[in-house]
C-alpha cells in the first residue's frame, strides 16, 4: 500500500537517497555524469535537505510502498518571480493567482513508476497549497522531459512560461507549468 507523509530532519538521509537515485535514473542517461553528480550533491545531500527543511515554507514528502521508500517531493512557498530566470507568458498571472506554492522536486524511483505514486504526491501538495490559502501551484519541468510534461498536463497544469534550470555546468530550458486553485 502506498503511503505519503510529510517528514522531518530525521528522514533527511532517506529523502536524499530516494531523490538522488530517482534523479540519476531519470536524467543520468541524457546528461553528463559530472553535471548530474554536481546537481545531486548540491540538492540531495542530507545536510542540504536538513538546511532546506529549516527554511520557512519548505516541506518534504516521502512516498512509501510498505516499508520501502519509493518517491519524494519538495515544496516551498515561493512565487514564480523568486526565480529570476522565469519569464511568464502572462506577467499578470503571478499577481492574479497568488499566493503561490512551488513544487521544487518530484521524483519516483524507476521501479515504482506508473502506479499512481507521483499522482498521490501531487495530490498531497495540492492539499497543502489549499490549506495555506494558495491560489496557484507552479513548477519547472525540463522541456525535453515529455513524460513529465504529460504527467503534469494530465493533472491539470498548463505551460505558462519558461525558465533556465542550471544542471551542473549546463543551462537547460524548462517549461514553467502552473495550476490555478479556484477563487
Ligand atoms: C513524472 C513522475 C514523477 C510521475 O510519477 P509516477 O508515479 O510514474 O506517476 P503516476 O503513476 O501517478 O502516473 C504516471 C503513469 O501511471 C499511470 N497511472 C496513474 N495512476 C495509476 C495507477 N493507479 N495504476 C496504474 N497506472 C497508473 C498514468 O496513466 C501514467 O501513465 P504514463 O506511463 O503514460 O506516464 C515519475 O515518472 C518520475 O519521477 N519521472 C522522472 C523524474 C521526473 O520527470 N520528475 C518530474 C519532472 S521534474
Convert the pLDDT of each residue in 118-177 to its tens digit: 999 999 999 999 999 999 999 999 999 999 999 999 999 999 999 999 999 999 999 999
CB atoms within 10 A of CB 122: 24
Tell me the sheet residues that pair with 72: 62, 107
Which residue's C-alpha comes closest to atom 15 of ligand 1? 114
pLDDT at 183: 60
Atom of ligand 1 nearest to the CA of 105: 48
Atom of ligand 1 nearest to the CA of 113: 8
Rg (CA), the chain: 15
2-180 falls under which CATH superfamily?
Gcn5-related N-acetyltransferase (GNAT) (3.40.630.30)
Atom of ligand 1 nearest to the CA of 25: 41
CB atoms within 10 A of CB 3: 11
Residue 175 Cα, ligand 1 centroid: separation in angstroms? 18
How many angstroms separate the Cα of 75 from the Cα of each of 1, 111, 150, 169?
23, 23, 20, 24
Q: What's the pLDDT tens digit per position in 145-161?
A: 999 999 999 999 999 99
Which residue's C-alpha comes closest to atom 23 of ligand 1? 116
Residue 92 Cα, ligand 1 centroid: separation in angstroms? 31
Residue 40 Cα, ligand 1 centroid: separation in angstroms? 21
> Residue 85 has which C-alpha cell?
530566470
Query: Among 70, 119, 122, 174, which is best to mutate for testing ligand 1, by the most ligand atoms less than 8 A from CB?
Result: 119
List pocket residues of ligand 1, CB cut-off 6 Å: 22, 26, 106-108, 113-119, 141, 145, 147-148, 151
> Which string of DSSP letters, residue by residue, matches 61-118?
EEEEETTEEEEEEEEE---GGGSTT-EESSTTHHHHH-SEEEEEEEEE-GGGTTSSHH
pLDDT at 15: 98
Instruction: Tell me how far apart the alpha carbons of residues 29 and 129 are, in angstroms, rounded to a whole number.
Output: 33
Which residue's C-alpha comes closest to atom 10 of ligand 1? 116
pLDDT at 96: 85
Helix (H) or strand (E) holding 49: helix 46-53
Triad 143, 144, 150: Cα angle to 5°:
75
> Residue 97 has which C-alpha cell?
493567482
pLDDT at 159: 97
> Residue 26 has which C-alpha cell?
531519470
Cβ atoms of 164 and 171 within 8 Å: the answer is yes
Which residue's C-alpha comes closest to atom 33 of ligand 1? 114
CB atoms within 10 A of CB 27: 19
Q: What's the pLDDT tens digit per position in 30-69?
A: 999 999 999 999 999 999 999 999 999 999 999 999 999 9
**What are the structural domain ranges in the chain?**
2-180
Question: What is the β-pairing status of strands 136-142 and 100-108?
Answer: parallel
Amino acid at each position: 500500500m502506498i503511503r505519503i507523509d510529510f517528514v522531518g530532519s530525521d528522514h533527511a538521509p532517506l529523502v536524499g537517497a530516494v531523490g538522488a537515485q530517482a534523479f540519476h535514473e531519470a536524467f543520468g542517461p541524457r546528461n553528463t555524469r559530472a553535471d548530474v553528480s554536481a546537481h545531486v550533491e548540491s540538492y540531495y545531500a542530507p545536510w542540504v535537505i536538513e538546511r532546506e527543511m529549516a527554511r520557512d515554507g519548505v516541506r518534504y514528502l516521502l512516498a512509501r510502498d510498505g516499508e520501502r521508500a519509493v518517491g519524494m517531493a519538495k515544496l516551498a512557498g515561493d512565487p514564480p518571480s523568486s526565480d529570476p530566470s522565469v519569464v511568464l507568458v502572462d506577467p499578470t498571472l503571478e499577481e492574479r493567482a497568488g499566493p503561490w506554492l512551488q513544487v521544487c522536486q518530484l521524483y519516483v524511483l524507476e521501479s515504482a513508476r506508473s502506479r499512481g505514486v507521483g499522482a498521490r504526491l501531487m495530490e498531497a501538495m495540492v492539499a497543502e497549497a489549499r490549506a495555506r490559502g494558495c491560489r496557484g501551484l507552479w513548477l519547472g519541468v525540463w522541456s525535453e522531459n515529455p513524460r513529465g510534461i504529460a504527467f503534469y498536463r494530465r493533472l491539470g497544469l498548463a505551460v505558462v512560461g519558461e525558465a533556465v534550470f542550471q544542471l551542473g555546468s549546463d543551462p537547460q530550458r524548462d517549461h514553467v507549468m502552473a495550476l490555478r486553485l479556484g477563487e
